[in-house]
Amino acid sequence: LVTAVDHVGIAVADLDEAIAFQRDTFGLQVAHEETNDDQGVREAMLRAPGDAAGAAQIQLLAPLREDSAIAKFLDRNGPGLQQLAYRVTDVEAAMAALRAKGVRLLYEEPRRGTADSRINFVHPKDVGGVLVELVEPAPGH
């Protein structure tokens, strides 16, 4: 079902501060930055200098609004690991396979994720307490 670990997401209060911290502390570089209004986030994808193309990235997620999932996560837990994202080739097929195993998906239909990927999420209570994202990259990514 899963072809690779796509990224690991960390909730942060301030995106620019967190980017600078990861750069100055660990030497990670920004590969991509965008605002996703649907998800209520400003986000950055970070890479390590030695990463091969397609290597798992670190995603920093900062809230755009108080009613967003990241704002709620920060209120409850403070900054920290928020999600694990698995890459799939066909998100609808992955959703169907997981539903058949009795695992709950958060959305009926895929939504738009980073860099025009198609995404859905698995309920953390059904998969060991980890919020799992499914990511079908846009063609050419």
Q: Which residue's Cβ lies closest to ligand MC0?
A: 113
As a whole number of angstroms, the distance between CA 79 and CA 58 comes to 14
Task: Kindly tell me the burial class for residue 46, based on how many C-beta atoms sit within 10 Å of its own C-beta (0-12, 13-18, 19 or more).
Answer: buried
Give the nearest distance from C-beta 94 to ligand MC0 in angstroms.
15
Q: How far is the CB of 29 from ligand MC0 (least distance, A)?
A: 18
CB 45 within 8 A of CB 58: yes
Nearer to ligand MC0, 24 or 38 (CB): 38
Least distance in angstroms from the C-beta of 121 to ligand MC0: 4
In a 13 Å sphere around the CA of 53, the CA atoms on its Cβ side amount to: 2
| Residue (48 or 124) nearer to ligand MC0, CB | 124
Which positions touch ligand MC0 (CB under 6 A)? Answer: 9, 36, 39, 41, 43, 59, 61, 69-70, 72-73, 82-83, 85, 106, 113-114, 117, 119, 121, 124-125, 129-131, 133
Show the tokens assigned to 56: 């798992």
Q: Find out whether 29 and 49 touch, Cβ atoms under 8 Å.
A: yes
Output 21 or 76, the one with its CB closest to ligand MC0. 76
